[in-house]
Structure 1
Amino acid sequence: MEPAPPTLTSARLILRPLDPRDTDALYTAAQDPDIQRWTTIPSPYLREHARSFIELLAPEGWATGSMFTFGVFLPDDGPLTGVLSLTMRAPGTAEVGFWTAKEHRGHGYTTEATLTAARWAFTDLGIDRVEWRAEVGNEASRAVAGKAGFTPEGVLRSAIANKGVRRDCRLAALLPSDLGLPSTTPYLPAPPPAAPTATAPRDGLPRP
């Protein structure tokens, strides 16, 4: 049985499932060209898209345990600052996705929300790895991942399909140990590569 949708709190934020009262705020925020460019939301983004996401897609994700979506709000019934989702990609592995409303950027809200959601995933869902992926060039998303402590793991070719185009993406990951938390199973990191050993030429003569 999947957990009931929780409400998470951090020092400055409330993370809760979206509900119909948030439709107008979601629709308005999603008109930002940057959100439509760098995320997979429809473009143009219609009010019906917001309604369908809140009333159908997000609840279905919670019900099936496939995607856990939070609206990120300021406290005391404050405004919507963004949306964050954890999508299950494999057993024990989730991918975080997020966007921030234009007027709330530059305050560190999405970094704070990402860490709050990741901690919940590690402690309540038994997740052992949270991945971040973003199209190469999405420097704002990359900055959030870096500030949240994700470790870069490289670039994947043709790994993101967005609005009919496949693009390369950056990959990074956060583990429970990065937050001082235990994993559900032991993690044995690979040893670092051995340093190359200098060898003398076979004829014993020095080489430049």
Structure 2
Amino acid sequence: MDPVTLTTDRLLLRTVGPHDTDAVYAAVQDPDIQRWTTIPSPYLPEHAEGFTTQLVPDGWANGSMFTFGVFLPEGEELVGMLALTRRSLGVSEVGFWADKAHRGNGYITEATITASRWAFTHMSVDRVEWRAEVGNTASWTAAERAGFTMEGTLRSAINNKGVRRDCWVASLLPSDVGLPSSAPYLPAPDTPSHSAT
């Protein structure tokens, strides 16, 4: 599909291209982004170029990953990056990072809510998952403020630079933001955690 642009009162979410390569490269030099995400480290200029010229447009074209640069309203100052990756029928996973100079302003939370609502209303997504390595409290804070519900810890569920790590998993459903699901949802009844059979 063709890339879409989303807006909020404070932000412009748009695809990134070759003209954004330098800004992406500069932002990702931050050691925290390289530590807590699965991007290459060290992050080289050719990684940024491959991201903006191939990975992002290919993801939009084949419907596998919808990447938004998070910008201030003028659309030139990059404050972060957010992607929704299709994982299975009706399920997408959100991933994001924030430029160090723009952390603490709630931009990533705002972008996550906006992109999730778009996925619910335009992409037949009924579950947006958030995953992060255990200990990444900054990412969890953004997800929690966006309305995600923590579901637990998955053992050895992330491979970060060749090392298997445990990760937290949380979800956001359409009903969490007052929207209908595209498919009926039947929650499990409350049951004892250790029932005898």
Query: What aligned pairs does 1:68-107 form with structure 2 within 5 A after superposition?
Result: 68-107=66-105
What are the superposed Cα offsets for residues 1-57 of structure 1, whole Å, 9 maximum, x if unpaired?
Answer: xx3110000121000000111111100000000000000111111111111100001
Cα shift at 1:77: 3.1
User: Which residue of 1 is the match for residue 10 of structure 2?
Assistant: 12
TM-score, normalization by structure 2: 0.96
Matching residue of 1:36: 34
Long gaps (5+) in structure 1: 196-208
Question: Alignment RMSD, CA only?
Answer: 1.3
CA distance in 2, matches of 1:78, 1:61: 22
Task: Output the CA distance in 2 between the equivalents of 1:99 and 1:84.
Answer: 7
Question: Following the alignment from structure 1 to structure 2, what is the Cα–Cα distance between the partners of residues 146 and 105?
Answer: 16
- Please name the residue that 1:46 is paired with: 44
| 1:122-137 matches, cutoff 5 A | 122-137=120-135
Stretch moving more, 182-191 or 162-171 = 182-191
Corresponding residue of 2:183: 185
CA–CA distance in structure 1, aligned partners of residues 39 and 150 of structure 2: 25
Q: Report the counterpart of residue 146 of structure 2 in structure 1.
A: 148
Q: 1:138 aligns with which of 131, 136, 139?
A: 136
Measure, in 2, the Cα distance between the counterparts of 1:169 and 1:194: 25
- 2: CA distance between counterparts of 1:77 and 1:146? 26
Distance 2:155 2:43 in 1: 28
Secondary structure at the residue paired with 2:67? strand
Rg larger in 1 or in 2? 1
Please give the secondary structure, in 2, of the residue aligned with 1:131: strand
Code of the aligned partner of 1:76: E
Aligned residue-pair number: 194
Q: Deviations over 1:105-126 (max 9, x none)?
A: 0000000000000000000001
Q: Identity across aligned pairs (percent)?
A: 67
